[in-house]
């Protein structure tokens, strides 16, 4: 019985803390790692990303993003982009959509330069460790407009986020 009461209390505190963070005026910073791509190739790759955001209205965030992609069988690249994120307060889920510009950082023999515009969508969950710090698992889909077959991908990202009061 004590375990049930403790779990109920923990769940209630998590929901209260989570709802307080999706208010207008909050700032957001995030760092993440992805390397668990669900694509059909067996080559190794990893993505390091950083995001910043601003809650411009209740449950809506404008996000800027930078990403470094490390590939075994293709040129390394970097990406910059922007998007929108919508939070579903009742359960901590978020939906996001955006676009990034991708640029090759180096050229391998036999590979041509690959600059691309990549629209993306994702579904994630903001799990609050404290009132301001989150772990955010996220399932995403990147759609390459230049080479759909080789560069579009479905993947999984894990990141840490920090929600801050307005700085300005």
- pLDDT tens string 64-96: 999 988 877 667 888 999 999 999 988 889 999
Report yes or no: 133 and 160 within 8 Å, Cβ to Cβ.
yes
For the segment 118-142, the average pLDDT, to the nearest whole number, is: 93
Q: Rounded mean pLDDT of 135-160?
A: 87
Residue 12 has pLDDT above 50, yes or no: no
- CA dist 96 and 82 (Å) reads 10
pLDDT of residue 104: 78
- 28-78 pLDDT tens trace: 999 998 865 555 555 667 789 999 999 999 999 999 999 988 877 667 888
CATH number at residue 63: 2.40.160.20
Taking the C-alpha atoms of residue 15 and residue 13, their distance in angstroms, rounded to an integer, is 5
Q: Which domain holds residue 100?
A: 2-164
* pLDDT confidence tier of residue 22, bands split at 50, 70 and 90: confident
pLDDT at 167: 63
Q: What is the pTM of this model?
A: 0.76
Structurally, the chain folds into a number of domains equal to: 1
C-alpha 17: how far from chain center:
21
Residue 10 pLDDT > 70: no
């Amino acid at each position: 019985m004590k375990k049930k009461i403790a779990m109920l209390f923990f769940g209630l505190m998590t929901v209260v803390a989570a709802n307080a963070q999706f208010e207008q005026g909050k700032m957001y910073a995030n760092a993440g790692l992805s390397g668990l791509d669900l694509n059909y190739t067996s080559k190794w790759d990893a993505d390091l990303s950083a995001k910043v955001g601003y809650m411009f209205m209740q449950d809506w965030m404008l996000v800027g993003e930078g990403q470094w992609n490390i590939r075994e069988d293709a040129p390394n690249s970097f990406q910059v982009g922007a998007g929108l994120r919508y939070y579903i307060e009742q359960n901590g889920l978020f939906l996001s959509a955006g676009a990034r510009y991708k640029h090759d950082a180096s050229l391998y023999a036999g590979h041509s330069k690959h600059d691309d515009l990549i629209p993306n969508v994702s579904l994630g969950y903001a799990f609050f460790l404290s009132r301001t710090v989150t772990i955010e698992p996220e399932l995403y889909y990147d759609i390459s407009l230049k080479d759909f077959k080789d560069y579009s991908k479905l993947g999984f990202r894990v990141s840490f986020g920090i929600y801050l009061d307005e700085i300005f």
